[in-house]
Structure 1
Amino acid sequence: MGHLAKDKGKLVARVRRLQGQLEAVARSLDEDAPCGDTLQLVASVRGALNGLTVELIEEHVRNHVVDPEHEADPERAKGAADLLAVVRTYMK
């Protein structure tokens, strides 16, 4: 995903935060924390991973398929915008 080079630092920082969240899940399991607390940690990891996934998919679509903000064909622009909206909604 070479086109992400300008935002690479931000993406790597997000991945490192995810690593920290996963380590918190592991500690929670090791320490026999209450199930609800562990499940909350897992839900947080899932949300963070979904957010990262949406960002990567959106950048891929905009750079390799069609960027709705710069597409001259209104139908293609609407189709791409609709696809991105569905992906964002699905990944919430």
Structure 2
Amino acid sequence: MAHTIQGKKQLLTRVRRIKGQAEGLERALNAETECLAILQQIAAIRGAVNGLMAEVLEGHIRTHLGAHDISETQRDNDMEAVVAALRSYLK
């Protein structure tokens, strides 16, 4: 997973931002904040998670599937793993 190690600082920054947004959502719910504000916070969290997924997925595809030094069998196995992860994410 060299691509996640190289981008570790950026990824952790994104995760911490998501964590802060989730904590803000929890506070808003506890404070019985207006529905629209709650919906906006949920949408912001979803967008942040989607951005994180896209960044990690792109790195994985470029590093593992785009590598020139892997066998066709390994590429097929990696492709199936990516498809399974995408299916799970999109459920």
Counterpart for residue 30 of structure 1: 30
Question: AA paired with 2:9?
Answer: G
Residue 3 (structure 1) shift:
2.8
**Partner deviation per Cα, 1:33-65 (whole Å, 9 max, x = no partner):** 000000000000000000000001100000010
Counterpart for residue 46 of structure 1: 46
Question: AA paired with 1:64?
Answer: H
TM-score, normalising length from structure 2? 0.70
Q: How many residues align?
A: 70
Residue 6 (structure 1) shift:
1.8
The 3-state SS of whatever aligns with 1:63 is helix
1:12 partnered with 2:17 = no
Alpha-carbon distance in 1 for matches of 2:27, 2:11: 24
Counterpart for residue 60 of structure 2: 60
Over the aligned positions, Cα root-mean-square deviation in angstroms equals 1.9
Alpha-carbon distance in 1 for matches of 2:40, 2:22: 12
**Which structure 1 residue ranges, 5 or more long, are not aligned?**
71-86
Percent identity reads 41
Bigger relative contact order (CA 8 A; separation at least 6): 2
Residue 2 (structure 1) shift:
3.4
Residue 30 (structure 1) shift:
0.4
The 3-state SS of whatever aligns with 2:33 is coil
